[in-house]
Amino acid sequence: MDSVENLNEQNDQEIIETEAGEGAEHLTLKVGTNITVRRLDKYLAGRLSNFSRTMLQKLIDEQAVSINGKFVKPSSKISTGDTIDVILPPPPAKEYIPEDIPLNIIYEDDDILVINKQANLIVHPARGYKKGTLVNALAFHQKKLSKGSEDFRPGIVHRLDRNTTGCLVVAKNETAHWRLAKQFEDRKTKKTYMAIVHGTPEPDADCINKPLAVHPVIRERFAVRPEIGKEAITFYENIEKFRGYTLVKVNIKTGRTHQIRVHMSYLKHPIIGDEMYGGRFVYPWQIEDKKAEPQEPLINRPALHAWQLEITHPTTMQRMMFEAPWAEDMKNILAELRKYRKISR
């Protein structure tokens, strides 16, 4: 079994392999009497050496691991006789293909590259997306990138959702990578987003401190889950109000998957166009208060833009702030709101 090594202690566990869907691998581990560690993530890291502890913790958080049929945390304790079920992801592609995908470069030097990521661009290859990603574009445009902390993610220090536009920094060498990664981990970067939401959040500025985890039913989504969620902190400020809509500036202290989208939905003010979290498409006839007619929406994705990114340069140690111009669809819907729905600035 290629994805499983370090499993020679047969008196410590029994391994049963079953199907888990296309490309995935389902393992059932029976914990024996000779266990040397009790913490779940450490135990799995010792048994599944092809997977990093970080990756295993992510699988546990995403409920791909259970103990005796119950979903648990990475720090959960195991005991002799426990049955651990693990759904392992398929191995990544053995190579990534360079593709001539346009990149909007904001800044570049020998250590870093900062781009204004366009919509409909996934950051790195994943199941079902081996081509057409930012990594494929980087492989074409850049001669040298850092290897990355995980396979087939060269230069990738942080991510933006597929349809979120804006500032994203890429590492061009190993030193830049680990220094930038540590800044993100230690929360020493500053990330400012702009979003257009339904309604008007109250109060005009606030902090949303609600833990997030995988949705209990819909695995592709995340949700506020105080009992098992990870800390997620979002600060928002109403910048410009319109009838029925608001332009909101958002700073995030943490960087959880879909964090801004989930938190704004939690406030009952989802982002325009974010159908996954309750947002709706907005059409010109709606903004103009006219009779409904067949039209394309003003924006066909979540109206969310990573506007500014502030980091410490990994070599010069100078603080740097980058700003990404808005995509045309965001500018267009804001112009329409200002024209037909203006309240205050």
Per DSSP bridges, beta strands 165-171 and 304-312 are parallel
Q: Please name which of 210, 185, 213, 211 lies closest in space to residue 64, comparing C-alpha atoms.
A: 213
What does the block give as tokens for 334? 């804001």
**Beta-carbon count within 10 A of 194 CB:** 22
Of 161, 186, 206, 329, the catalytic one is: 161
Q: Position of tokens 């990521």? A: 117
Please, is 166 exposed, middle or buried when counting C-beta atoms within 10 Å of its C-beta (0-12, 13-18, 19+)? buried
- 161 among known catalytic residues: yes
d(CA 258, CA 213): 10
The answer to whether 171 and 145 are in contact (CB under 8 A) is yes
Please, is 294 exposed, middle or buried when counting C-beta atoms within 10 Å of its C-beta (0-12, 13-18, 19+)? exposed
d(CA 195, CA 64): 32
**Beta-carbon count within 10 A of 141 CB:** 18
Q: Position of tokens 């933006």? A: 160
Residues designated as active site: 161
